[in-house]
Amino acid sequence: MHLKCLEIERFKSFGPYTRIPLLEGFTVVSGPNGSGKSNIIDALLFALGLSTSRGMRAEKLSDLIHQGAAKGEVAVTVTFALDAAAGGGELTVCRRLKVNGPNSTSSYQLNGSPCTLTDLHEELARHHIYPEGYNVVLQGDVTGIIAMPARERREIIDELAGVAEFDRKIEAARRELGEVEVRSDRIQAVVSELLEQMERLQKERAKAEEYRKLRAELGELALWEHLLSVRSLEAQIAQITSQLAAAEAVLAGFDREAEALAERCEQALDELDTANTRVKAMGENEQVALRTQMASVQAQRAQAEAALADLAQQQRQAQGRQQQLELELGELALTLTGFSRRQQDQQALVAQWTARLESDRQVLETSRNDLEQLSASSRRWVEEQSQLRRRLDQLQSEHDPLQRTLDRLGDRLVQATGEGERHREELARIEAGHAQLATEAKVAQERLAAARTRLEQTRADLEAERAQILADRTTQRRLEKERTEKARELDRLETQRQVWREAEGSRATQEVLGSGIQGVHGLISQLGRVEAQYQGALEVAAGNRLNNVVVEDDAVAAQAIELLKSRRAGRATFLPLNKLRSGRYLERLHEEGAIGYALDLIEFDRRYEAAFVQVFGDTVVFRSLELARRQLGRYRMVTMAGELLEKSGAMTGGSLDARRGGSGFALSEPPELAEMRARLGDLDRLLATLAERLERREQRAHELQSAAEAAQRELVAIENRAEQLGREHSTQQARATQLRVFLDSCQVGLEADRQEQADLAARLGPLREQIVQVREELAKLEQSDNHHRWQQSQQHLRELETEVRRWELQLRHAEADLQKSHLDEQLAQEKRQNLLSRRLDWEDQKVEFGQREEESRTRLAEFDRVIAELAAQVAELEERLVDIKRERDRLEAHGRALQQRQGQLNLQREQERLHQGQRAAALAAAQERLDELGPPAEDVPPPPEDLSLEQLQATRLRKQRRLEALEPVNMLAIEEYDRTAERQGELSEKLATLQRERSELLLRIEDCDTLKRSAFMQAFDAVNTHFQSLFAELSDGDGHLALEDPDNPFAGGLTLVAHPRGKQVRRLEAMSGGEKSLTALSFIFALQRYRPSPFYAFDEVDMFLDGANVERLAKMVRQQANSTQFLVVSLRRPMIERADRAIGVTLARAGHSQVLGVKLAADAS
């Protein structure tokens, strides 16, 4: 890409329209002073929007119009020729400026389309043309580099390195970090509120848990009460049981008396038994025997009935078997009938075939006789036939070898043709395989390219990952260094504060504080913190009470006083928290100048509030003495200057000794100390996060390394496959060549064999004709009648023999079938005889069943008759026993009398048992109460041994009252506390997530800072290298760029250090004008070489140089013009002589600049 044309309309010194063609290489614009040659450069800046009007040497836009008119229009068009890499063609940029008095409008066009300046700069940036890129170097730019501050000079490197982009990313990350911190603070506030709520709920939860515990204890006491009640009832039951045992002894006496009566009753029973014996002797035994006999007969009758029923069942089963037998006999009858019919048919067939066979045998014998007669009459014909056959055999013996040779040739031709075809097919396959191999080779090449791409991509990813690891390690080292410095500074500050704190207090207080007495909290000065602005006033207000010692209770104070006495360490004032009044009521202040109560300006733990009230009371801090005096007598007051005004009217004041010793309040932690601690915390988190990320990146790098090795192995395998395919392709090509040679030689052999085949065919022709002639004669002889008859007779004889053998075979098969049928019939007859025998057995069994049934029925009738006779005998014996039974009844009445007496005795015994029943009722009541209570639970812990039921009931009542005293109880506090804790946990997790996001953002900021430093140092090193070589070339000296703060380059500036030839090292400020110009130009060229552009425009940059230095500068421009277009405004001869072409500019009479001509180095125009 290069400048092709510049078209100017009414711009500064140029008139209506001027077109300046530009070519690649080195072009010089020259002309008299004031002719407008620098306006060409200004027009280029104007059109491309690379500078403001002031940069184009114009105070206002109207100064850009020709002759400074107040109204008018300016237009400048720049045309670029694009390279083929950029798509070819042209790029046209046009800017128009319309000015109408104080109003003006400016517009840009890109390739004829309107655009904004931002769009234009973006398009130019695509072609490496930047507003800050020193594409155009004006007269003041060289001196500007010399005069600009070192920080601005460093910002040039910043712009080249893209630091602004990193700063934008850092700023965006910081904005996002601010949002995260706002959200984090918001959640932290909610978490703090939840923690306060949890503290309140903790108390309610403790109360609820105590309430629940009391309820559980009351439940346990109820179980113990139940257990002790059960034990009491069990003791009562044991007592009643013992009373029942005593009553049983009384009842035993009654039992003994009852035994005597029982003996008498037994005697009466014996007499009754004697009477019964007599009754039995007189017939009862006989009656019993008759009844026994009758029962035996009845049992036998039942057995007979059962046997009859079993017989009926056997008859039914036998009938079923008979029916099955009849069915089988019917089936056998049908089978035997079929056998008879089949045997008759087979016998008829055998007879028929036997007759036919006899007839055929007779015909065969007749035919044999006829043939023998015919053979005797045909001997002459046979002799002629034999001669012809011998002639035929002779011709055939000559013909057959030739024919076999011809056949072998034919086979060889066929074989050779087949081999040729096979080789041609193989050649065709090889040629077809060439395409397949080419395809496979192409696929292999594609896979090879893809594998190389994957390998390159993997290696690129690996290099990128390693670069990230290097950047992370750089960030880690920088953060560790910062952390070490911050930690040292923090330790120093905290050590100073600790030393100051340790110097506080008197000997007495130091003795108490160092004694280790439990309950000593510290001095008032140690337990509170104040801001620095209020320290003096509050120390004056407290006075010596700052050294008062705060203790837990008066016992601790007494112990400390005894300690001071024993050690003679002096006196001290103690403030026991258990005796001080903690309540306070302070009126709201409305007085002018009142800052607030002293207590409100001190930070302290709320549990020490009573001690601080004791020291400060209602002291008010005022801004000045004048304002405090107006309230004298109303408050105890102290001013910011240290004056103390008592309620009594006493006023204390004067100058304060800034070096005064003694105790003082600890100042609130300085903001820088808190910021340092916060930064250290951030650094710790960042380093931890960075360590984790480094571990992940190293793992990723290891995986990428493994992937690269695998890709390398795959690449080697694919390369080997590609080489193998190449070898196969070469092998197949060699085989194809071999096959083509073989086919050519085979074709020559085939031609020779075909010639030999033709010769053999010519010799075989006459022999074949003779053979045909002999065969014709033999055929005529064989066609005679005798021969024909003889052949027919032989044929007929053979047919008859075949027919006879067929009939004999069929006859043997028919006889075998007939014999098999006889055997089957014999087996069926045997089975039928067996079934008939079984049927006869059933008939005999049926008769036997009838006889047995008749016998059973006869026995049943006999049993019925015997049972009737025995019943009659029993009735007769009953009538004979009536008198004897009357005597037995009398004896039974006597026995009943004895039993009545025994009953009276039993009545007395029952009365005693009545009392026993009452006892049993009491026992039952106790048992019932015990059953109501039920058994104690198995898992109830045993109550204490010394705990009685009454004590337990008293304890239960006391706990019940405590339970009622706790009410009302918020039982939901337990669950609400858990929910609040869960909510607090969730928010804490969110807070942790935000902290992680914050750490990531901080790490992103640090990463950007590291990359920014790296990019800056990379650009700085490159520009420094270019500067050293360029300065050496321009001045024959040496120089370099120096950073004011190499450790933190963005905190300082950039200095140009040069050592011209023959002089000591100098800084820029100590050089001459020419040396400064050469140094500045070297710096500009170094910037351009670091970020090259397609063209450069210089406006009289050689004006401060002598001839020798101009020569060097022109030589350098000439060298760089070989690859870049240069447009240089110059009046110096070396510059013009080195240029490829020159543009002359002069001022015409009309007052506008005019391009007089262009002188080219090779072409004239």
pLDDT, one tens digit per residue, over 160-218 is 788 888 888 888 888 888 888 888 888 888 888 888 888 888 888 888 887 888 878 77
Q: Which residue has the tokens 């015990």?
A: 930
Q: What is the CATH number of the domain that holds 77?
A: 3.40.50.300
**What pLDDT sits at residue 855?**
81
Domain end position, chosen among 603, 634, 667: 667
User: Which pair of structure tokens corresponds to residue 455?
Assistant: 């390998």
**What pLDDT sits at residue 671?**
65
| CB environment 119-137: b (16+ within 10 A), e (fewer) | ebbeebeebebbbebbbbb
Q: What is the CATH number of the domain that holds 639?
A: 3.30.70.1620
Is residue 71, in this structure, part of any structural domain at all?
yes
Neighbours of 720 (CB within 10 A): 11
Average pLDDT, the chain: 79
**What pLDDT sits at residue 950?**
77
Query: Is the pLDDT assigned to residue 983 strictly greater than 50?
Result: yes
Q: Would you place residue 54 in the very low, low, confident or very high pLDDT band (cuts 50, 70, 90)?
A: very low
User: Which pair of structure tokens corresponds to residue 641?
Assistant: 């200057």
**What pLDDT sits at residue 156?**
82
Q: Which residue has the tokens 């004829």?
A: 112
pTM of the model: 0.52
Q: Would you place residue 643 in the very low, low, confident or very high pLDDT band (cuts 50, 70, 90)?
A: very high
Query: Is the pLDDT assigned to residue 622 strictly greater than 90?
Result: yes
Annotated ligand binding at 35? The verdict is: yes
Query: Is the pLDDT assigned to residue 944 strictly greater than 70?
Result: yes
Q: Would you place residue 509 in the very low, low, confident or very high pLDDT band (cuts 50, 70, 90)?
A: confident
Report CA torsion sign: 64, 65, 66, 70: negative
Answer yes or no: are the C-beta atoms of 726 and 1039 closer than 8 Å. Answer: no
Q: Would you place residue 77 in the very low, low, confident or very high pLDDT band (cuts 50, 70, 90)?
A: very high
Average pLDDT of 48-68?
Answer: 66
Is residue 842, in this structure, part of any structural domain at all?
no
Q: What is the pLDDT of residues 847-905, one digit of tens each?
A: 777 787 788 788 878 878 888 877 777 667 666 666 666 776 777 777 777 777 777 77
**What pLDDT sits at residue 79?**
93
Is residue 677, in this structure, part of any structural domain at all?
no
Is residue 647, in this structure, part of any structural domain at all?
yes
**What pLDDT sits at residue 92?**
93
Q: Would you place residue 1036 in the very low, low, confident or very high pLDDT band (cuts 50, 70, 90)?
A: confident
Annotated ligand binding at 32? The verdict is: yes
Range of the domain at 625: 532-667
Average pLDDT of 338-361?
Answer: 77
Per-residue CA distances from 506 to 370, 498, 503, 566, 666 (Å):
174, 17, 9, 17, 16
Answer yes or no: are the C-beta atoms of 891 and 275 closer than 8 Å. Answer: yes
DSSP H or E stretch at residue 645: strand 644-645
Q: What is the pLDDT of residues 1111-1121, one digit of tens each?
A: 888 888 888 88
Annotated ligand binding at 39? The verdict is: yes
The more confident residue out of 84 and 1002 is 1002
Is residue 977, in this structure, part of any structural domain at all?
no
Domain end position, chosen among 609, 637, 667: 667
Phi, psi of 320 (to 5 degrees): -65, -45
Q: Mean pLDDT lowest for which of 641-655, 794-808, 959-973?
A: 794-808
**Looking at residue 942, what DSSP letter applies?**
P
Q: Would you place residue 1163 in the very low, low, confident or very high pLDDT band (cuts 50, 70, 90)?
A: very low
Query: Is the pLDDT assigned to residue 157 strictly greater than 80?
Result: yes
Annotated ligand binding at 38? The verdict is: yes
Q: Would you place residue 70 in the very low, low, confident or very high pLDDT band (cuts 50, 70, 90)?
A: low
Is residue 787, in this structure, part of any structural domain at all?
no
Is residue 283, in this structure, part of any structural domain at all?
no
DSSP for 186-234?
HHHHHHHHHHHHHHHHHHHHHHHHHHHHHHHHHHHHHHHHHHHHHHHHH
Average pLDDT of 652-674?
Answer: 62
**What pLDDT sits at residue 174?**
86
**What pLDDT sits at residue 661?**
45
**What pLDDT sits at residue 620?**
93
Query: Is the pLDDT assigned to residue 68 strictly greater than 80?
Result: no
Closest CA to 180 of 1002, 1008, 997, 1007: 997
Q: What is the pLDDT of residues 824-840, one digit of tens each?
A: 777 777 777 777 777 78
**What pLDDT sits at residue 439?**
82
| CB environment 605-616: b (16+ within 10 A), e (fewer) | eeebbbbbbbbb
The more confident residue out of 484 and 1150 is 484
Closest CA to 145 of 1058, 1113, 1160: 1058
**What pLDDT sits at residue 662?**
46
Average pLDDT of 291-312?
Answer: 75
CA separation for the pair 350, 76 (Å, rounded): 137
Annotated ligand binding at 37? The verdict is: yes
Domain end position, chosen among 667, 689, 704: 667
The more confident residue out of 550 and 1080 is 550
Percent of residues, the chain, with pLDDT higher than 90: 4
Average pLDDT of 642-650?
Answer: 89
Q: What is the pLDDT of residues 775-796, one digit of tens each?
A: 777 677 666 555 566 666 667 7
Query: How many domains are there within the chain?
Result: 2
Is residue 584, in this structure, part of any structural domain at all?
yes
Q: Mean pLDDT lowest for which of 230-239, 380-389, 797-806, 886-895?
A: 380-389
